[in-house]
Amino acid sequence: METVKLDVQGMTCQGCVASVTRVLKAVPGVTDAAVTLQPGAATVTFDPARTNVAALGTAIRDAGYDVGA
């Protein structure tokens, strides 16, 4: 398992946090996702054999949020 912290931009409320958490947990291979509003961040634990950071970023962007560097 690997854990990565992603900078998530564009979240404004707890509903946004719930949305990002939901889309991350739906990615195959993700075992845990903890999202915080302040600062906008997601800490994600995943199986690198099943997914990668690029796929996590794509899931976040597809939900309508931005991923910082």
Closest CA to 44 of 67, 60, 24: 24
In the numeric block, the tokens 């931005």 are attached to 66
User: Can you list the domains of the chain with their CATH numbers?
Assistant: 2-67 (3.30.70.100)
Q: What is the mean pLDDT of residues 10-33?
A: 97
CB 63 within 8 A of CB 9: no
pLDDT tops 70 at residue 69: no
pLDDT tops 80 at residue 55: yes
CB 6 within 8 A of CB 42: yes
Q: What is the mean pLDDT of residues 46-52?
A: 97
- Residue 33 tokens read as 């996702």
- Residue 10 tokens read as 């564009």
Query: In the prediction, which pLDDT does 3 show?
Result: 97
Q: How confident is the model at residue 68 (pLDDT cuts 50, 70, 90)?
A: confident
- pTM listed for this prediction: 0.93
